[in-house]
Amino acid sequence: MNRTNMYGVIRPLLFKTDPERINAAADAFLRASGIFPKLLAPLVDSRRDYEPLHSEAFGMKLENPVGLAAGFDKNARLIGPAYNLGFGFTEVGTVTPEPQRGNERPRLFRYPGSGSVQNRMGFNNCGEERFARNMSKGMPFRMPVGINFGKNRATPNERALDDYVELAVTLGKYASYIAVNLSSPNTPGLRDLENAEFVTDAVRAIRSASMKPVLVKISPDNPPKHMIEIGHAVADAGGSGIIATNTTRDFTLVPNSNLDGGISGRALRRYSRNALKILSNELDGDIGIVSVGGIDSAEEAYYRILNGASLVQVYTAMIFEGPNIANEINKGLAALLRRDGYDKVSQAVGAGTGR
């Protein structure tokens, strides 16, 4: 029995337990695996280095283009274990200046029939001071690490920029890149900041405070015109890229879903693909794109790369496919590149767009 099938055996037992409890248990297990890596052996293949997957993006050198999306490692305690899971980079957070408890429970829901998850977590995190201590303990990192920034719930929008700049000053030195989260649906009023004026101000201020590449994470629910405006604002302000996309509030995608929070996973795939194509066609390589949302196989990751994604991220797929998902995607990606005659993954980026 291979390791992915092994997870398939235990998954029904895990799914009988409250999702947030399982998340906490997974966090504890992975933290322990950072000390005792052999704990991963029954479920995760040994990390392999596929030379065709080596890439450069946003000033970073990566062993592979598959990253762990923000939201899993909220407090920057799983960077080493993420490397052992096969990821080429990880994005930690979302972190806010002050600690937050997040929204009331229950706030995490699984929908196995649609391979999707709904969350209304609300940026629960330990705050910048403890977050900085956690990061400093893990340095030097064996792979690039992005940090996802958010504003505190209590911070009014007219002072939101202060939160982002404060985070850049405190945490910028630890980051390979900074992701500006203006698109979570779980902080009231946050998406109101997802406009060209604020994006321009935020990218410029964060770049000035941190001297690190700045990416902006966008909502899948934006009309195409608005996505394009945000993309151009990021590029014109000197930003490095777009992360497309955050979770969606289209609750019709999942039968009997809660009318709150945001949906990720397979149900988000169509929206995430659409955003990637819109931005890739419009920006024509001016800035990079990280594609996230509904990626659960090598074939899907390859589709995103062919359609303009420099990098891809997964999260929900870990819940349904297991902790070996990064290794499975990387193995498949290397085979797909060989099949199509590409020596490097960079040669495939945007090859399906006709650019």
pLDDT, tens digit (0-9, with 9 covering 90-100), for 252-269: 999 989 889 999 999 999
Residue range 59-80: mean pLDDT, rounded: 98
**pLDDT the model gives residue 192:** 97
On whether residue 353 sits in a domain, the answer given is no
**pLDDT the model gives residue 81:** 97
Spatial CA neighbour of 330 closest among 85, 155, 122: 85
Q: Are strands 116-119 and 108-111 parallel, antiparallel or unpaired?
A: antiparallel
- The CB-side HSE value for 191 (13 A sphere, CA atoms) comes to 18
pLDDT, tens digit (0-9, with 9 covering 90-100), for 173-216: 999 999 999 999 999 999 999 999 999 999 999 999 999 999 99
User: Could you count the other beta carbons within 10 Å of the beta carbon of residue 166?
Assistant: 18
Q: Which residues pair with 241 in a beta bridge?
A: 215, 288
Q: For residues 85 and 240, what is the distance between their CA atoms, to the nearest angstrom? A: 27
Q: Which residues pair with 242 in a beta bridge?
A: 216, 289
* 322-338: burial string, b at 16+ Cβ within 10 Å, e else: bbbbbbbbbbbbbebbe
On whether residue 141 sits in a domain, the answer given is yes
Told to judge if 184 belongs to the known catalytic residues of this protein, a careful annotator would answer yes
Q: Are strands 177-181 and 214-218 parallel, antiparallel or unpaired?
A: parallel
Q: For residues 292 and 272, what is the distance between their CA atoms, to the nearest angstrom? A: 7
On whether residue 354 sits in a domain, the answer given is no
Catalytic residue selected from 116, 184, 219, 291: 184
Q: Are 242 and 218 in contact (CB under 8 A)?
A: yes
Rg (CA), the chain: 19
Instruction: Please give the residue range of the domain that contains residue 164.
Output: 3-348
On whether residue 355 sits in a domain, the answer given is no
On whether residue 338 sits in a domain, the answer given is yes
**pLDDT the model gives residue 353:** 77
Q: For residues 320 and 12, what is the distance between their CA atoms, to the nearest angstrom? A: 10
pLDDT band at 354 (very low <50, low <70, confident <90, very high): low
Spatial CA neighbour of 193 closest among 166, 168, 162: 162
pLDDT, tens digit (0-9, with 9 covering 90-100), for 113-163: 999 999 999 999 999 999 999 999 989 999 999 999 999 999 999 999 999
SS3 133: helix
pTM: 0.97
What is the number of structural domains in the chain?
Answer: 1
On whether residue 329 sits in a domain, the answer given is yes
pLDDT band at 355 (very low <50, low <70, confident <90, very high): low
Q: For residues 209 and 139, what is the distance between their CA atoms, to the nearest angstrom? A: 21
Q: Read off the CATH number of the domain in which 76 is found.
A: 3.20.20.70
**pLDDT the model gives residue 73:** 98
